[in-house]
Amino acid sequence: MVRRDGADEAEVMTTEAPADSIVIGYDGSHHADQALRWAAEQAELENRTLTLIHVVKPISGLELGGLATANLIPDDVRTAVREGGRTTLFEARARVLADRPDLDVVTILGEGDPRQMLLSHSERAACLVLGSRGRGRVTSLLLGSVSVALSRHASCPVVVVRPYRPGTVRRGVLVGTDGGETTRSTLEYAYRQASLRDLPLTVLHCAPDDSEEHRVLSESVAGLAEKFPDVPTRLEVSDVFVDRALIAASETMDLIVVGHHRDPVQGSLPRLGSHAAAVVEGARCPVAVVFEDHHA
């Protein structure tokens, strides 16, 4: 991919994310900047386009009344808000290209519900990246649930870049698995990320029977170990609940990968998918949520 030096707005502002791009929901906050750095690195590693999406909220009826009281013209306010969003996008794009000049970066400015817009674009995306906090106290409190909602319903893997301490010595990629057939997508995603980033992989299964689960776990990763021979892999079995185990380990991991089952099966221990939300909200490193089709 070649950077289009001197590209004007028409060339980099679009209405639909290019197919198989890395899509990030970006609001200009500190946490969004942290997510942007992760997304840009991912796009470069996978040789994909990076799509930045900024969504502005429509003016509500109550807000229109306030504007009238302040003698402000609604259309002027709408224009100012959109211009602010456009500036946010282009400044972010410029920062990305300053570090990665060969990366193809496009931008989308939308209006409405950010969740619906991001879900819509996830249908064509290779990955959807989100920060874990937004601008303002209320937004910060709510965005965790937004991230969970998007990770449950998006049509592609969702990476939530949780706050983490730069410079901490970390031990690679950690994937949680239930050992069943439906975990292959999650395992393969984890192997691919470890391979792309030249990191070791730890495969963790939480179950009470160590010997049997080690056998099942070994069988589930055998084929992938052959497919990704460059990835050093360690298998672990724990009797701790999976969300607690993953969150505790996240302090020293580069990436946590967890599967999400939309059709969970009841058993002696809750399936991994039922714990994805807790990991997204509590981890201390980026978390990737991969959809697993129970009926596949």
Same domain, 122 and 144: yes
Q: What angle do CA 104, 190, 230 make, to 5 degrees?
A: 90
For residue 40, what is the domain's CATH number? 3.40.50.620
pLDDT of residue 182: 53
* Position 271 in a domain: yes
If one counts the domains in the chain, the total is 2
CB 161 within 8 A of CB 130: yes
Same domain, 214 and 253: yes
* Position 1 in a domain: no
Element (H, E) at 160: strand 158-161
pLDDT of residue 61: 55
Mention every residue, 6+ apart, whose C-beta is less than 8 A from residue 96. 36, 40, 50, 103, 105
Per the model's pLDDT, the better-predicted residue between 140 and 249 turns out to be 249
pLDDT of residue 208: 61
CB 38 within 8 A of CB 129: yes
Distance between CA atoms of residues 218 and 108, nearest Å: 44
Per the model's pLDDT, the better-predicted residue between 167 and 26 turns out to be 26
The residue type found at 188 is E
* Position 119 in a domain: yes
Same domain, 75 and 113: yes
For CA atoms 142, 88, 28, 280, the dihedral sign is positive
**Residue 225 DSSP one-character state:** H
Per the model's pLDDT, the better-predicted residue between 47 and 206 turns out to be 47
* Position 167 in a domain: no
Residue 13 has pLDDT above 60, yes or no: yes
pLDDT of residue 273: 52
Q: What angle do CA 226, 275, 245 make, to 5 degrees?
A: 70
Q: What is the mean pLDDT of the chain?
A: 80
* Confidence grade of residue 241 (pLDDT, cut at 50, 70, 90): confident
Q: Final residue of a domain: which of 161, 196, 227?
A: 161
Same domain, 28 and 152: yes
Residue 189 has pLDDT above 70, yes or no: yes
* Position 168 in a domain: no
Same domain, 116 and 189: no
**Residues spanned by the domain of 138:** 9-161
Q: Which residue has the tokens 């990737």?
A: 288
Q: Final residue of a domain: which of 121, 137, 161?
A: 161
Q: What are phi and psi of 138, to 5 degrees?
A: -65, -45
Q: What are phi and psi of 258, to 5 degrees?
A: -135, 140
> How many residues are given for the chain?
296
Of the listed ranges 30-34, 121-125, 157-161, 266-270, the least confidently predicted one is 266-270
Buried b (16+ CB within 10 A) or exposed e, 113-151: ebbebbbbbbebbbbbbbbbbbeeeeeeeebbebbbebb
* Position 166 in a domain: no
Q: Which residue has the tokens 């990320």?
A: 193
Per the model's pLDDT, the better-predicted residue between 86 and 271 turns out to be 86
CA 54 remoteness from chain centre? 15
**Residue 71 DSSP one-character state:** T
Per the model's pLDDT, the better-predicted residue between 87 and 296 turns out to be 87
Mention every residue, 6+ apart, whose C-beta is less than 8 A from residue 242. 176, 204, 206, 269, 272, 275
Residue 99 has pLDDT above 80, yes or no: yes
Q: Using one digit for the tens of pLDDT, what is the confidence trace for 274-287?
A: 578 888 888 999 99
Provide, rounded to the nearest whole percent, the portion of the chain with pLDDT above 70.
Answer: 73
The number of beta carbons lying within 10 Å of the beta carbon of residue 152 is 16
